[in-house]
Amino acid sequence: MTSALVLVSTPIGNLGDISQRAIDELIAADLVCCEDTRRTGRLLSHLGISTRLMRADEHTEHRAAGEVIQHLQAGQRVVLVSDAGTPGVSDPGQHMVELVLAAGLEVSSIPGPSAALAALVASGLPTARFVFEGFLERRGSARQKTLLAIAAQHRTVVLYESPNRTAATLRDLAEVCGSDRRAVVARELTKLHEEFIRGSLGQLIEWADRSIKGEVVILVEGAPPPGEPTDEEITEAIAAALAAGGSRRDAASEVAAALGVGRSRVYDLVLSSGDSTSSE
């Protein structure tokens, strides 16, 4: 095995989800960086692995990267794991990767469990394109800005949330998206009490009106695509285009292109608007 920093995904609940490649990397590594040495120590002892552990959590990631770079420059292989799932996804990892790459060294990954993907694929919501938002800001204008962006988003949105904030977040989402928007809460994925609650945001708020335990992913269906413009909207756009000058023919072409509707429909409305102030 050549020298590299390897990001290894670990189980998000069910230890059976560890892959053979993940085990091989953990055995072969000279050093395993992790958020919590006790927690990862338990995983390694469950697997019968005794590789040296070093803490690299959100506070120590930068400092740990310096040491990791020295190991890599000495030709060693270093693994980075997080407490659960894929490191770097709402978990430490990104900064270490940036620093290792900046030092001209190799980075690789062993894919595996990720709560976002496990929730998405079984949610029943569109999966072809999706947006991962991670944890919402806790409060203030930054949270409101993200909520509004989610409401306007046409792709499925995936959010991480703590159980005790789930009800409030569902209420905030319903406020901006409307309570009819489809959504899913995926709870305790891969564990004994795994469940998917599928419905409208309004129904999920009712479901959340009790104490929620365990880990939670929230998914929200994308906003519906904008509908065909009405005749009134087209007529208004025609009036604006005519007021800006130009012929009725030009106004029709301009409005058809801007609103994405057929030119003949627009031209019929130009004629029926009876505007006689503009020339052909």
Least distance CB 127 / ligand SAM (angstroms)? 16
Please give the residue whose beta carbon sits closest to ligand SAM in the complex: 85
Are 223 and 156 in contact by the 8 Å Cβ rule? The answer is no
Least distance CB 107 / ligand SAM (angstroms)? 17
Q: Of residues 44, 115, 157, 158, which one binds ligand SAM by CB under 6 A? A: 115
Tokens of 46: 């469950």
Are 153 and 131 in contact by the 8 Å Cβ rule? The answer is yes
Q: Of residues 17, 25, 61, 91, which one binds ligand SAM by CB under 6 A? A: 91
Least distance CB 156 / ligand SAM (angstroms)? 16
Q: Footprint of ligand SAM on residues 30-69 (CB under 6 A)?
A: none
Are 183 and 200 in contact by the 8 Å Cβ rule? The answer is yes
# residues contacting ligand SAM (CB under 6 A): 24
Are 150 and 218 in contact by the 8 Å Cβ rule? The answer is no
Q: Judged by CB, which is closer to ligand SAM: 135, or 240? A: 135
Q: How far apart are CA 44 and CA 209, in angstroms?
A: 39
Stretch that binds ligand SAM, among 18-26, 83-91, 254-262, 267-275 (CB under 6 A): 83-91
Residue found by looking up tokens 């005790």 in the block:
164
Q: How far apart are CA 112 and CA 217, in angstroms?
A: 17
Q: Judged by CB, which is closer to ligand SAM: 31, or 218? A: 218
- The answer to the question of residue 216 lying near ligand SAM (CB under 6 A) is yes
Q: Looking at the chain, how many residues does it have?
A: 280
Residue found by looking up tokens 């947006």 in the block:
131
Least distance CB 123 / ligand SAM (angstroms)? 12
The site map against ligand SAM for 13-32 (x = CB under 6 A) is x-------------------
Q: Of residues 5, 125, 217, 266, which one binds ligand SAM by CB under 6 A? A: 217
- The answer to the question of residue 82 lying near ligand SAM (CB under 6 A) is yes
Q: Footprint of ligand SAM on residues 133-192 (CB under 6 A)?
A: 160-162, 186-191
> Which amino acid does the sequence have at 80?
L
Q: Which residues have a Cβ under 8 Å from the Cβ of 80 and sit 6 or more positions away? A: 5, 6, 7, 8, 32, 33, 34, 56, 68, 87, 93, 96
Count Cα atoms within 13 angstroms, Cβ side, for 155: 11
Tell me which residues touch ligand SAM (CB under 6 A): 12-13, 82, 84-86, 89-91, 114-116, 160-162, 186-191, 215-217
